[in-house]
Structure 1
Amino acid sequence: MPGRIQSIERAAAILRLMAGGARGLSLAEISRSLDLPKGTTLGILRTLQHVGFVEQDEATGQYQLGGGVLRLGTRYLDGNELRTRALNWADSLAARSGESVRIGTLHEERVLVVHHVFRPDDSRQTLEVGTLLPLHASALGKTLMAFDPLALAEESEFERPELPGYTERTITSRTALTAELESVRANGWAAELEELVEGEVAIAAPIRDRRGTAVGAIGLSGAVERLCDDRGLRMDQVSYVRDAARSISRELGAHPW
């Protein structure tokens, strides 16, 4: 039987050390804490940086956990499990709001719709499960960009001066999108006002797991004349969405907030 690989054990020890601290650690601190030579420690750190498991602060030179480790830790809940946990709440939201409901997760720089409940009327509708939505032009996407720590890092289009436009109302400016996401974080929900499809409005809120990490989003969508009134977006519909998001989050072990 093959023996243990020392370099992997040392890398794991470094990651555990970083995970246990609330701040970055210097090369000397890591080397001293694990009783490893600085040269050996530096070599492991550079390798972990290369694969995205460790990041180095350019200003201080200190090391901290990177997005690669975060991905491993937060993606234990896949779309199928999220859908299973959210089925009843999604149905309830559709009945309460009178609109169609979608649940989405982050997938390759887009929002993957993992569950879709039709609007509870007799109109002809198309099932949207498996549809990919743009992050910056959808309520589900804005929610993920605001609350999922991986979404912004994965949105390569976000680095461009101008983002793709879908209607005249699409936010295409990076500066404007940054301001929009700050507002989403402050409010706890996101809106999409004819930014992806003309005449359509959507509202979404984050679904969190037991660690408080956003693992998806739930939202409703419908015609602008139904979801808006003379004062703008109907806040009762916003409340319905947030209630559903909180309920699903509790199903996943999140603490009430």
Structure 2
Amino acid sequence: MSSDRSPRSYIVQSVDKAARLLHALAAEDVEHLGVTELAGRLGFSKNQVFRLLKTLERRGLVEQDPQTERYHLGTTVLFLAGHVQRGMGLVRAAAPILDRLALETGETIHLVARRGLEGVMVDFRESPQPVRLTARLGGHYPLHAGACPVAILAALPPDWQQKVIDDLPMLPRYTERTVADPVRLREAIEQVQALGYSLSDEDVDADGRAVGAAILDRAGWPVGAVSVAGPSSRLTQERLHQYGQKVHAAAAEIGARLSLVVGRIEQEATL
């Protein structure tokens, strides 16, 4: 039996608005927002925002600072995120390798999963050093800049790469070194394919460098990437290439472990 209803007709507007509010509170440029600020960002009435906040607060998804009366994401979000992580084969497979890389390098380690033509930060190990690169769990990144995203891009088929190249004029320029020229991006892809790892030289963080390698599944598709990231003062070009060998080996090991984890999950599902 066919249905003439469009996908939009199944959307529950109040739930959609609540989800937009949560995304607003998760924006990189804010820590806390008040009712008036949220209403302005979302285009909702203050009454709508207040009612949504009180509903979400009841479930622990948002919390109110008693002193400022402004709102931020609640601890229930962490609980839910933990379930997402535990259910991801990639995070499970990578965990011991991330721990080892963090100990060996003393730098921040990123694990990024591919979602279409974006990378999503799904796990990390932050450097214990006072000057370090940080990570934002759940952050979304286009594939034209950064060690992990470009490593993923270089492992995709040419027609997928072309989609990113075509979109390049619309993609963000994080620093003066962010690639904005299609020819340079193609050269970067070729360099990654030749080296086996991607070099990020202040193209995302003005004072940061990183080196990353793509993680491939059993079919050879990039499911994500792993990287070592740190301040430019410590990650010299020589050290980047040294770590490049480590992340290349780590990515291969994660890919092998991922095949085992996925295979085990598939086996458990049939029991």
Secondary structure of 1:236's aligned partner: helix
Letter matched to residue 199 of structure 2: A
Alpha carbons of structure 1 residues 79 and 165: separation in structure 2 relative to 1, 3 Å: farther
Matched, 1:243 2:264: no
Question: Partners in 1 of 2:163 and 2:114 — Cα distance?
Answer: 9
Identity of aligned residues (%): 29
1:110 shift after superposition: 2.2
Q: Which residue of 1 aligns with 2:93?
A: 85
Matched, 1:252 2:258: yes
Matched, 1:202 2:189: no
Letter matched to residue 83 of structure 1: V
Q: Give 5+ residue unaligned stretches, structure 2.
A: 2-85, 261-271
Letter matched to residue 239 of structure 1: Q
CA contact under 8 A between 1:95 and 1:120: conserved in structure 2? no
Q: Which residue of 1 aligns with 2:6?
A: none
Matched, 1:132 2:115: no
Q: Which has the higher helix share?
A: 2
Q: Which residue of 1 aligns with 2:113?
A: 105
Q: Give 5+ residue unaligned stretches, structure 1.
A: 3-77
CA contact under 8 A between 1:101 and 1:218: conserved in structure 2? yes
Matched, 1:152 2:152: no
1:108 shift after superposition: 5.0
**Number of paired residues?**
175
Question: Partners in 1 of 2:167 and 2:134 — Cα distance?
Answer: 33
Question: Partners in 1 of 2:168 and 2:242 — Cα distance?
Answer: 36
Superposition TM-score, scaled by structure 2 size:
0.58
Matched, 1:215 2:223: yes
CA contact under 8 A between 1:171 and 1:177: conserved in structure 2? yes
Matched, 1:94 2:94: no
